[in-house]
Structure 1
Amino acid sequence: MALLLCACATAPAPPAIPPAARVATPADNYGDLFAAVQERRIFPDGKTFVDATPKRSVADILRDWRAARPRDDAGLRAFVLANFDVPGDGAAPPPAAERVPMAEHIRALWPVLTRPPLDPPAGSTALALPRPYVVPGGRFREMYYWDSYFTMLGLRADGRQDLVDDMVANFVSLVERYGHVPNGTRTYYLSRSQPPFLYAMMALSPPRDAAERARRLAALRREHAFFTAPERTAAMPDGSRLQHYWDGRDTPRDESWREDVETTRASGREPKAVHRHLRAAAESGWDFSSRWLADGRTLATIDTTNIVPVDLNSLLYGLERAIAAACADARDAGCARDFGARATARAAAVERWLWSAGEGRYGDWDAAERRLRPGVTAATLYPLFAGLAAPDRAAAVATTTERALLAPNGLRTTLAATGQQWDRPNGWAPLQWIAADGLSRYGRDDLAARIAQRFVATAEREYRASGKLLEKYDVEESRAGGGGEYPTQDGFGWTNGVVRAMQERYGVR
């Protein structure tokens, strides 16, 4: 296991497995049946089977499976369909038959993507949610963590404060039950989280009373404890501490089991280490990107847990500042001082170790090489979004962004063309917003507006052509984005949200 800590003489103790990571998943429950279904690709998308609901008990299904194993794929598929309620290809909203203005189309999509409170049936991998929520669309049938912040921006722009409040309440409920917000609301996502935007979501949803304020503060403090646990903590050369992405399991991801097994085979490396790196990259939201690849090109070289990422640590700075402010409001001076000091220390460590003066960019620290990883990426704008960056460095980042990342149709994700979906030429709605919002925070509304105009125009062109809003776009050629483990999805929650928020803030039509 490639755990990032200090270069000590003694090996660190194995990390504790958080309770949420011990919740049984389909791979745990169905064993060799699960492996057969995923390995033989009985369904084109590996997520299909893990979202299926058993029609009877696990023990009964496995007894019949072991008594008469189907020998061919047709027999195996028939067995699964007889024993499970299998979801369809994904409830993507129908394309607009008539090209009404894009903002009007997005407003009409919110009810289509909204789901009622959920009390899952027995055996389902879905997690209960007490309030209504919005899903991204397509194969993404559940609520996702960082997606939801960007979706909320659009809901707020369209006057759906009720859904913003409902989703924040759902996330607080998840933290209370599991100790963190999972990647998505499925059992197989419980071993990891996603970029910690909960504090930013709460800023969009004023608490109703003191009790709700206290409950939210408790949730933020629990989330902070989760993300700063020892197994997630890296010692920098001067002894300061920063965090990296992690996952509580070291097995193939249930929803991408076949792909992870193939990657591990191709790597020739110790499987558990590769699985952990793959899972940690999924927690980052950038699954996958040259950022996490040791050679910058090949997925088999993935080493995510050896990397101290600038985006995660910028968000944790924002979280610490939010906790300090909430503690001050609650008249808890000790807590306010503690988290204020944590934020100050984190900012100093980011400015010292994750900054390249020669390139005018923030980046990710490589623990194995003890240096900043090469390459400009859109993550360089996170310190601006979080308000961590010194003004002169923010100005340098703006110059670098304009020179290297700004494409004809939006903001590039990276400058590396690897075929991975979080690399060039793709542009993603959340990164467009992080960039624009961060630049505006430091007085560069001109560049922020240019990013917004180009990205919204790209979404508009695709909408006029197909009637759809997409998960990602090629911002160099102004077309649907590509790469990844599944086809480009349409719907699409965070694109809808960012487009509407940009239209409202920057007057883009």
Structure 2
Amino acid sequence: MVATKIWVILIEKNKRKIAAIPPHIKTLEVLQVPLRINCSVPMCKGPLSQIYCYGDILTAAWQFGLQKTCPGDKLRVPAEDVLTAFSRLSYPLHRDVFQNFCKESFEITTYLQPTNLVDWKVHPPFLNNITDPDRKKLAATLHEKWSFLARKVERRVFENRDLFPIWPVKYPFVVPGGRFDVYFYWDMYWIVKGLLVSELNTTVWGIIENFHSIVQEHGFIPNSGNIQLSRRTQPPLFIHMINDYVNKTGDTKSLSRWMTSMEKEMEFWFKNRTINLPAGKLFLYRSETDCPRPENLLGDYDLGINSSNPRATWQSIASACESGWDFSSRWMDRSGPRAYDPATIHTADIVPVDLNVFMARNMAYLSNFHKILGNKTASEQYWKKFEEIRDTLHSAFWVKETGAWFDFDLTTKNHSSCFSPSNIFPLLLSGLNRFDSEIEKYVRSTGILDYDAGIPTTLNVPSDQQWDFPNVWAPNQHLLIESFRATQNKFLHTAANEQTDKFVKAVYNGLFHPPPGKIGSIWEKYDARSTSGASGGGGEYEVQEGFGWTNGAVMDMVWNNRNTPRRDPPNRDIFSSPLQATVIIGLWTLSALMALWFVVATCCKKTRPNHLDSESQASRSLLSNMEDDDDF
């Protein structure tokens, strides 16, 4: 049977996201033989790998439908003792016997705890510089959310590292929210932006120091702190975070300290994630692992065995997770008999525009850092690398006929022909923003500016993946706005302001005036077609609230536009909630009755008491205030 969907319904299991079993796969009561998967590079290595990332314990847990609780959040005994105890079990293996083994071997517990951010203030001074009352209200609420999303690793994890499936870090951090209750790599870039607006410089220093220590020990920054994700990385934005921090604080002492980890991470990317094209060397997402993800073992296994090359499929699934776009039609066949079928995923053979923009910017930032530190030779060397990557990506990705940059597919030897926000990101690079006129024409031709809540990740395609239409994601929206602003093009600058207004409006309404029947929250993704802040959908799991990168991106947008009047004040439906509708209708009725009373009194030529004039004026003032308030 050909798999037609990546079957994943993620549920929270402490800090690890564990999938449900695909509905067409039945759980078992007895395993006659272990399921041995033909792959060679699991998702993690080390003493816990045969328990959490591959092997008979993991596959048995999935086949019995016990993957939500086994393996657990902590080992009761050392890993070798767990493996020895399991080896004493025999096949046929019964579910109750295995379940008893799990109870004796693992605990369901916690290893992170909420914490206070030492530099968080109830009334931060930055709010005084935001003049628009609605934006100030939103920024104040987002600032408050940092205190609810702050976590730290419990001390006992450091004392017993080999018993917990987490990569521990010393300093507090901010989690995305919802089920994502551990630190994630590329999410943190936008979280850091928001924290810097909130003047939480000490917290940001600690987050960067955490990543610095991870690179020193691990060689790169994994997808997240969960060891089940530790053999894949995410978009390389560590250096971007340091750039934002140093620009805000001028902390050159820490900059010098972190230089070794920045360069070490870049060595990893140059060594492990490059491809030689006719235009030159570029970067792509190509995770080393060729096994099913442990957090979705049976779903990935089923998809792989129904593809033409299971190992390549599993590698591309992991590589899509590296990209952050997990999952999108961007990584699948878009034509032919299996167009948009997840089984055609081939991320590891697609050279993406955005990754190469990130890498070029990393070289430019490193050049500037060395210049600040007085290292002239190193500064010149990194600037040369920046120019090489910039010129190569332009040569490899630019499609003159369309007037934009497009991903290159190594399997078809062709460029993608579909819209993606990354088609515009090279405007961020010095020397490529000269193509602003071509990009203006491209933007106009696509109609991407016409949506109510921002620019969707793709245009309308037959896909139910979450990184496809109609979803708007804060990272892409933020990068698009910054790309438009990197030019001197009046149209694109206007578009940047309008897109800021649209997305901020959607987030504001989704939090304070959600659609009827929906809770008010900050979402990880939004529906581009909705002005009411409706959350996005599709993909592997229910939409998550919180949400770290939305908080950070919107904080940065609001701050950057703090002196820019809203160009198109949104016209929100004033009946967006039953309570509000009742209040406003009541006020209208009261005003109408008072007006009628006034007419009758005048016709009868009676003297109108002075206190009624005051009441009528007060009523009109109240109604006016209701109409003016929350004009998002």
Q: Could you tell me the TM-score, scaled by structure 1's length?
A: 0.86
The residue identity in structure 2 corresponding to 1:276 is Q
Question: 2:45: which partner in 1?
Answer: 22
* Residue identity in the other structure for 2:538: G
Alignment counterpart, residue 276 of structure 2, candidates 211, 232, 235: 235
Structure 2 counterpart of 1:448: 496
Please tell me whether the aligned partners of residues 145 and 194 of structure 1 are also in contact (alpha carbons under 8 angstroms): yes
Cα displacement (A) at 1:314: 0.4
Partner of 1:281: 320
Partner of 1:42: 66
Query: What is aligned with 2:147?
Result: 111
Report the CA distance between 1:68 and its aligned residue: 5.2
What does 1:103-502 align with in structure 2 at a 5 Å threshold?
A: 103-117=139-153, 119=155, 120=157, 121-122=160-161, 123-206=163-246, 211-229=253-271, 231-238=272-279, 240-267=280-307, 269-295=308-334, 297-385=340-428, 387-388=429-430, 390-402=432-444, 403-406=446-449, 407-415=451-459, 416-443=461-488, 444-463=492-511, 464-465=513-514, 466-477=519-530, 478-502=533-557
Residue deviations 1:194-247 (CA, integer Å, cap 9, x gap): 111112101221277655222222222111111111x42211124x11111121
Looking at structure 2, the residues matched to 104 and 395 of structure 1 have their Cα atoms a distance apart, in angstroms, of 38
Contact 2:47 2:79 in 1 (8 A): no
1:9 alignment partner in structure 2: none
Rounded Cα–Cα distance in structure 1 between residues aligned with 2:65 and 2:380: 54
CA distance in 1 between counterparts of 2:190 and 2:289 reads 28
| 8 Å Cα contact 2:41/2:291 also seen in 1 | no
Conserved 8 A contact 1:398-1:439 = no
Q: Please list every run of 5 or more consecutive structure 2 residues that lacks an aligned counterpart in the other structure.
A: 1-39, 115-133, 567-631
Q: Which moved more, 1:172-181 or 1:33-42?
A: 33-42
Q: Which residue of 1 aligns with 2:108?
A: 86
Contact residue 285 and residue 322 of structure 2 kept, 8 A: yes
Q: Which has the higher relative contact order, 1 or 2, with Cα contacts under 8 A spaced 6 or more apart?
A: 1
How much has 1:83 moved relative to structure 2? 3.4
User: Residue 74 of structure 2 corresponds to which residue in structure 1?
Assistant: 53
Q: Which moved more, 1:194-203 or 1:63-72?
A: 63-72
- Asked if the contact 1:236–1:242 (Cα under 8 Å) also holds between the matched residues in 2, the reply is yes
Q: Considering only aligned residues, what root-mean-square deviation do their CA atoms show, in Å?
A: 2.9
Q: Which amino acid aligns with 1:214?
A: S
Instruction: Give the direction of change, closer, same or farther, for the CA distance of 1:78–1:500 in structure 2 (3 Å limit).
Output: farther
Specify the structure having the higher radius of gyration (Cα). Answer: 2
Q: Quote the Cα distance in structure 2 between the aligned partners of 1:17 and 1:34.
A: 15
* TM-fit CA distance, 1:87: 5.5
Deviations 1:160-192 (A, max 9, x none): 222112111111111111111111112222212
- Where in structure 1 are there 5+ consecutive unaligned residues? 1-15, 93-98
Change (3 A) 1:330 1:157: closer
Compute the displacement of 1:26 (Å). Answer: 4.5
| Helix, strand or coil at the partner of 1:116 | strand
Q: State the alpha-carbon separation in 2 of the partners of residues 193 and 87 from structure 1.
A: 26
Amino acid at match of 1:483: G
Q: Deviations over 1:352-385 (max 9, x none)?
A: 1111222222111112222212201011232123
Shift of 1:282: 0.7
Q: Displacement, 1:486?
A: 2.0
In structure 2, C-alpha distance between the alignment counterparts of 1:336 and 1:280, rounded to whole Å:
32
C-alpha separation in 2, matches of 1:50 and 1:435 = 41
Gap change, CA 1:381 and 1:216, over 3 Å in 2: farther
Change (3 A) 1:344 1:79: same
CA distance in 2, matches of 1:397, 1:191: 37
Deviations 1:61-119 (CA, angstroms, capped at 9, x unpaired): 3444454579666775565355323358x999xxxxxx994333322211111113555
Report the TM-score, using the length of structure 2 for normalisation: 0.70
| Counterparts of 1:125 and 1:54, CA distance in 2 | 9
Offset at residue 435 of structure 1 (A): 0.7
Structure 1 contact 382–438 (Cα < 8 Å) conserved: yes
Distance in 1 (CA, whole Å) between partners of 2:504 and 2:418 is 26
Task: Indicate how the Cα distance of structure 1 residues 284 and 388 shifts in structure 2: closer, same or farther if over 3 A, else same.
Answer: farther
* Conserved 8 A contact 2:243-2:365: no
Do the aligned residues in 2 keep the contact of 1:468 with 1:491 (CA within 8 Å)?
A: yes
Contact 1:195–1:283, Cα closer than 8 Å, also in 2: yes
* Partner SS, residue 196 of structure 1: coil
- Shift in Å at residue 259 of structure 1? 2.1
Residue 417 of structure 1, CA deviation: 3.8
Stretch deviating more after TM superposition (412-421 or 443-452): 443-452
Cα gap change, 1:261 to 1:331, in 2 (>3 Å):
same
Q: 1:411 aligns to what SS in structure 2? A: coil
SS of aligned partner of 1:145: coil
Contact 2:71 2:106 in 1 (8 A): no
Against the structure 1 CA distance between its residues 347 and 103, is the aligned structure 2 distance closer, same or farther, given a 3 Å change threshold? Answer: same
Instruction: Write the deviation string for residues 129-178 of structure 1: whole angstroms up to 9, x where unpaired.
Output: 12111111122121111100111111122222221121111111111111
**Counterparts of 1:40 and 1:449 in 2: how far apart (Å)?**
53
Inter-partner Cα distance in structure 2 for 1:103 and 1:328 = 35
Deviation at 1:499, TM superposition (A): 1.8
Q: Secondary structure at the match of 1:435?
A: helix
